[in-house]
Structure 1
Amino acid sequence: MNSPLIAAGRRHSLGLRADGTVVAAGTGTSGECRVEDWAQVIAVAAGNVHTAPNTGRSHSVGLRADGTVMATGWNGDGQGDVGHWRDIALVAAGWRRTLGLVRDGTVLAAGRRREGACDVGQWREVVALACGDWHSVGSRADGTTVAVGNDRRGQCAVDSWRDVGAVAAGYLHTVGLTNDGRVLAVGDRSAGAGEVSAWGDVVAVAAGSYHTVGVTGDGRVMAAGSNEAGQCDVTGWREIVAVAAGSTHTLGLRADGTVVATGNNEHGQCDVTGWNAIRSPD
């Protein structure tokens, strides 16, 4: 179970340092960057929204080593009401929504209920989570996958997937990483974010609003989909061990604990040059 060590929203980015503290980049107009007092954190998540009217409404989530969860930022739909959660092993954040994977394989949800993306109460044996804007995805221990929420472009059509160990979700598409390094995709095809069938030897994936990013076993990075803001300009990156995809920007964590970024930097979300000692995957 890989915990997110870097996270990207629409207007902000998060990084988890090796000492359990968290660093943020971005304007943080909703308070989503107020993480300077967080400690003993083992995973982070950043709420993402692609729709222009809500660009100032973001939130950040941190998972502590003791299994408790904290959140900061916009809480208009209760997506930050996670202080009572216990025994959590993994967190994910989407538009107006937060998910928590309990160590027994069940999933908790806080936030907006209208599209059904929080209807995860029946999920069991889940080992990985992802939040899109309007849908949620989970990978089970047996390699099957489940999804709930808005399915208008087929982004929840993952029932046939097998041998999946990780998932990622964008605005209208969903990505699955198989245990042998292949990448699957369903949903909206208009921007090319689902053009990943030729990828191989992939060890991690991330999904932005209209783009998909993958890391290979030798530390190279691939991207597919919209490159309107330069979010797919990752071919020169090397020694990458993890990636995160925001709405229109991409982060890469190097093996030495530094972070690189590309894409939309209108709000300073790519200002990660000074970040160091970011925790590496186990």
Structure 2
Amino acid sequence: MGLCGDGTVLAAGAGTAGECRVDGWGGVVAVAAGNVHTAPNTGRSHSVGVCADGTVVATGWSGAGQCDVGSWRGVTQVAAGWRRTLGLVGDGTVLAAGRAQDGAGEVGDWREMVGLACGDWHSVGLRADGTAVAVGNNSRGQCAVDRWRGIAAVAAGCLHTVGLTDEGRVLAVGDGSAGACDVGTWRDLVAVSAGSHHTVGVTATGRVVAAGSNDFGQCDVVGWHGIVAVAAGSTHTVGLRADGTAVAAGNNEQGQCDITGWTAIRRPD
């Protein structure tokens, strides 16, 4: 998904469940794309957008109620995972819709939140004081973020969680078997994102670094430059250039990397 400067939204990919039906969206200030935990052709993904008035729109597969966000108000940010949507309210509380198993939607007692991330079976929140909290499946230690301090941003993959510190370093917990947690040497980062089994980050100079599974070339980002933001899908990676255009690497089986014509994409806040 791409959010344009005029509040409209672009989408590329399979669209079999209607997750790319965003042509009529307007006045949008933030977007999130839910992932497909199962085979990529099952049509079980969804897309979510936050409007300038604090309402939320969603399209795509809603078998678990993950698109039941029409009543939400005062939302400033959204995160979308597997069959689940989270919404950050302006007062620092968090709303959840969708799959209730594994406890990933148990965010009703979260307070003073400023950031959110959804993994497949776990959810992560960033507090205003720079600490983090996580709920849900912790089978690989992906929720072990209680000791993190000085965190500026969080991201969640299938079985791992990543935190960007105020100093530009990156922390990671969870499944490291594919190398997605091999980020200890990264420095001067300004943004991070987590795919299912890989992690990507943007440096202060606009370069992109990646670690983890590269089965589809999703980590082939060494040649990218002038990047201001990144987004990692299940097996692909997207980078936003400073001029509002985008570049992609990785699995394009469903057309999810067909973004060469995108322009005027808005940089995330």
TM-score band by shorter chain is over 0.9
**Distance (whole Å) between structure 2 residues aligned to residue 238 and residue 192 of structure 1:** 23
Amino acid at match of 1:126: M
**Distance (whole Å) between structure 1 residues aligned to residue 14 and residue 233 of structure 2:** 15
**Distance (whole Å) between structure 2 residues aligned to residue 141 and residue 176 of structure 1:** 14
How many residues are treated as equivalent by the alignment? 269
Query: Residues 164 and 170 of structure 2 are in contact (CA less than 8 Å); yes or no, is this contact kept in structure 1?
Result: yes
Q: Unaligned stretches of 5+ in structure 1? A: 1-13
In the TM superposition, what are the counterparts of 1:64-75 in structure 2 within 5 Å? 64-75=51-62
Paired residue secondary structure (1:180)? coil
Cα 1:33/1:148, change in 2 over 3 Å: same
Q: CA RMSD of the aligned region, Å?
A: 0.9
Amino acid at match of 1:218: T
Q: Which residue of 1 aligns with 2:235?
A: 248
Deviations 1:180-219 (A, max 9, x none): 1010000001000000010010000000000000001110
Quote the offset at 1:53 in angstroms: 7.5
TM-score calculated relative to the size of structure 1: 0.94
Alignment partner of 1:222 is 2:209: yes
Quote the offset at 1:281 in angstroms: 3.8
**Distance (whole Å) between structure 2 residues aligned to residue 55 and residue 262 of structure 1:** 22
**Distance (whole Å) between structure 2 residues aligned to residue 82 and residue 74 of structure 1:** 13
**Distance (whole Å) between structure 2 residues aligned to residue 55 and residue 115 of structure 1:** 22
Cα 1:153/1:54, change in 2 over 3 Å: farther
In the TM superposition, what are the counterparts of 1:48-59 in structure 2 within 5 Å? 48-52=35-39, 55-59=42-46
**Distance (whole Å) between structure 1 residues aligned to residue 53 and residue 40 of structure 2:** 37
Alignment partner of 1:202 is 2:171: no
Quote the offset at 1:165 in angstroms: 1.1
**Distance (whole Å) between structure 2 residues aligned to residue 236 and residue 281 of structure 1:** 22
**Distance (whole Å) between structure 2 residues aligned to residue 199 and residue 114 of structure 1:** 34
Amino acid at match of 1:35: V
Query: Residues 30 and 268 of structure 2 are in contact (CA less than 8 Å); yes or no, is this contact kept in structure 1?
Result: no
In the TM superposition, what are the counterparts of 1:61-100 in structure 2 within 5 Å? 61-100=48-87
Quote the offset at 1:280 in angstroms: 2.1
Alignment partner of 1:266 is 2:253: yes
TM-score calculated relative to the size of structure 2: 0.98
Q: Identity over the aligned pairs, expressed in percent?
A: 75
Amino acid at match of 2:36: V
Amino acid at match of 2:103: G
Q: Which residue of 2 aligns with 1:130?
A: 117
Query: Residues 143 and 161 of structure 2 are in contact (CA less than 8 Å); yes or no, is this contact kept in structure 1?
Result: yes
Q: Which residue of 2 aligns with 1:142?
A: 129
